[in-house]
Amino acid sequence: MASFAANNSNMYQKAYHQEQLEQHSFLITGGAGFIGSNLVEYLLKHKAKKVRVLDNLATGFKHNLAEFESNPNFEFILGDIRDVETCKKAVNGIDYVLHQAALGSVPRSFDDPISTNAVNISGFLNILIASRDAGVKRMVYAASSSTYGDSKALPKQEEIIGNPLSPYAITKYVNELYADNISKHFNFHSVGLRYFNVFGPKQNVKGAYAAVIPLFFNAGIHNTKVTINGDGNQTRDFTFVENVVQANMKSLFAEINQHEVFNVAVGDRISVNDLWNNIKELTQSTVEASHGENRIGDVRDSLADITKAKTLLKYNPTYKIREGLAITYDFFKKQAVANEK
């Protein structure tokens, strides 16, 4: 097995924008979460005029934002996107909205479809309409590769989707329908980014709905039990979070005059078994994975066609999975050491 190169965890040195961020104010909903806090880091590192975070801390964490609290350009609002007045307050004076707030997780959506619907559909619509009414220049929102549903076609192309396989997938597709309708009738053109299995620093390793990569790293670092759902031969287009930040920044300022949806991924895939073997090597774990039942609502194989994003956004994913895993391991290893003190 190939060895991992030494990594540099000093992220976001490269600018993915050409505009003067000092002249613009940004709202990040869900900014205390994994992807949201990475967007906060990028914007503040590149001198944004104002970065306002709206988060109810249901799945986000204040510690993800601790390093930014002393920055005069940073502002935090504790609030819920399900409340219309909170959304109106949050978008006041904002130029650009990065909407990351959602109740993620396919299993959670089966366990609690009502909350998933309320946050992911009603909350989304609240932010969309508030942004439109406040004169926001553009809203970029987190869509999902789960929208492809039961379509067997590979690689996934934006215009070819199947039937959704979970309540979560339904909510994310409804977001796209609302955004497209508002674009056509009100000339407010948002951009949806269909994320493919995002991973990286600040992703939550705890809780019943933690994603596979932080779970694997936590097990590898502590040399504890690993259970893979199904046979482990299911494949995913795992996407390092800095690639996702790049796509968000390029979507904010792209010359687009209608609602657009883009795949955000690498355009490569790996099986879950191989993923564990890579993480096992990185962490020097001696644990052999066991296999459990298939997870309800899971897609078997996922691979993105990123031609559209490359063409219209000039998106170019600079981190492949091995590079991303090396940086992510460095983060989780440091986190584990800190927690032991």
Q: Which of 273, 104, 270 is nearest to 195 (CA)?
A: 104
Q: Is 184 helix (H, G, I), strand (E, B) or coil?
A: helix
Q: Which of 174, 193, 194, 190 is nearest to 182 (CA)?
A: 190
42 is catalytic: no
Q: C-alpha distances in angstroms, 219 versus 213, 226, 283, 299, 341? A: 10, 6, 9, 24, 19
Structure tokens, 294: 């298939």
Question: In the block, which residue shows the tokens 């584990």?
Answer: 336
What is the C-alpha separation between 304 and 145, in angstroms, rounded? 8
Q: Which of 16, 42, 96, 168 is catalytic?
A: 168
- Amino acid identity, position 126: N
The DSSP bridge partners found for residue 75 are 52
Residues 67-70: contacts with CB within 8 Å, 24+ apart? 67/41, 68/40, 68/41, 68/44
> What residues are labeled active site?
168
